[in-house]
Amino acid sequence: MAYLSISFTHKNTDIQTREKLAFSNDLEKETFLKNILDSDSIEEAVLLSTCNRVEIITCVSSLEASQNTILKKLSEFSTLDFDDLVERADVFDSNYAIHHLFSVASSLDSLVVGETQIVGQLKDSFKYSMSKGFCNRNLARAFHFSFKCAAQVRNATSLGTGSVSVASTAVAKAKDIFKNKTNVQALVIGAGEMSELSIKHLLKANFEVILTSRNFKKAQLLASTFEEEVKVAPYDQLNHLLNTVEVLITATSAPYPIIKEDMIQKCDFNRYWFDVAVPRDIEDMNVDKLHIYAVDDLQDIVNDNMALRAESAKKAYSIVSNMSKEFFEWLRTLGVEPVLKHLHLNGDDIINKKLQKAIQKGFINSSDEENIKKLCQTVMAEFLHIPSQKLKEVSKSNNGDLVLNTVQDIFGLNDDSSTQTKYKNDNTQNETIG
């Protein structure tokens, strides 16, 4: 078994490509995951699809075959050329796949380093795969450790403070544009998480917020969660609002553009629109005094963000590297516990057999059986104590598997499959992280 991650992000794909790769609903995700898991080489899979990335995180038996299968299925889903996907994809396997997953969870691989949404999105993707039976113990171990890593990065660094999301970055850009102007109205389209974040930052920046959504009741509910006034406009007023409001942030989950050029009238004032949705909500257009920013166009603020967070990012990467190493050390220690338990079980079997023979032959009284048994178990535990400690230490090294296999061969532990199975199941049920 090996970990394999295939990644398409703002680093290796433009927004037009990411739009085609984006999964807009659970049905598309479920179908894709089922398709790749039909392959004999792919055992577990999680799919993450956000405005800035598509990640397929898997456990596989064959790296080459699995990579080929995933990219072929992605090509079929997106209608993008297979060879183009091969050229663009960032592929991580084994230790590198875990390091990448931990970096993603810790928002070190995000467009806006330190943004706080990504770990929640990862958790949702993982829970979805678990609920559908698309992943099991191997990915569960990796994901739980990645969440632990993300928490450690948040607690140990200043990442996660300040302007740390695409929404907040868009608002920061708008605030900079209108820094000498008051009473500026800003229209937010959509009533999801990104819209909620946008409203929060717009209010903090003293914009007058108007919210609209196809789901009017959901928009009203969202508006009511803020202490400051958020006006809610019916969706049928969208055309009018587009041509009267100076600032717009749109973040819907529509699979196609909802704002088209024929909806736009010429105005004598500048309008600044921020499309933070993928696929984009605003179609390509060239209208006088209309400035449109997609997520990739916020790079100047992102660069400032990176400069300010460079020291924290350096510390965070150190944490990710240490946690990646710790994860694989922990995985290796899992193999030693069954061996040690099996040794003790074998010892108990020998003690019980010898006691019964001794009683049958009259060497000891049956009334003394329990006391003698406890004494023998104490001697056995003392005898196995140092070997157990040494095995635990050796299991963390690169040749740990070789040593464990040798111990199993010497003590004949590979022969008793029923005991091993019992012990393996117990170990799986009691397994914890950290």
Is residue 150 within 8 A of residue 137, CB to CB? The reply is no
H/E segment holding residue 57: strand 53-60
3-state secondary structure of 10: coil
51 counts as catalytic: yes
Catalytic residue among 51, 59, 135, 149: 51
DSSP secondary structure code for residue 363 in this structure: S
Determine contact, residues 56/6, Cβ cutoff 8 Å. Answer: yes
Q: How far apart are CA 164 and CA 84, in angstroms?
A: 32
**Rounded Cα gap, residues 141 and 329, in angstroms:** 13
Decide: helix, strand or coil at residue 44: strand
Residues paired with 185 in a beta bridge: 208
CA end-to-end span of the chain = 22
Q: Provide the edge-to-edge strand list for the sheet that holds 42-49.
A: 42-49, 53-60, 2-9, 90-93
Within 55-116, residue ranges assigned H as helices are: 63-78, 82-88, 95-105
* Cβ-based neighbour number of residue 301 at 10 Å: 17
Q: Are 89 and 7 in contact (CB under 8 A)?
A: yes
d(CA 243, CA 282): 14
Residue 391 DSSP class: H
Report residue 274: phi and psi, to 5°: -120, 115
Dihedral pair phi/psi, residue 272, rounded to 5°: -125, 115
Instruction: Cite the active site residues.
Output: 51
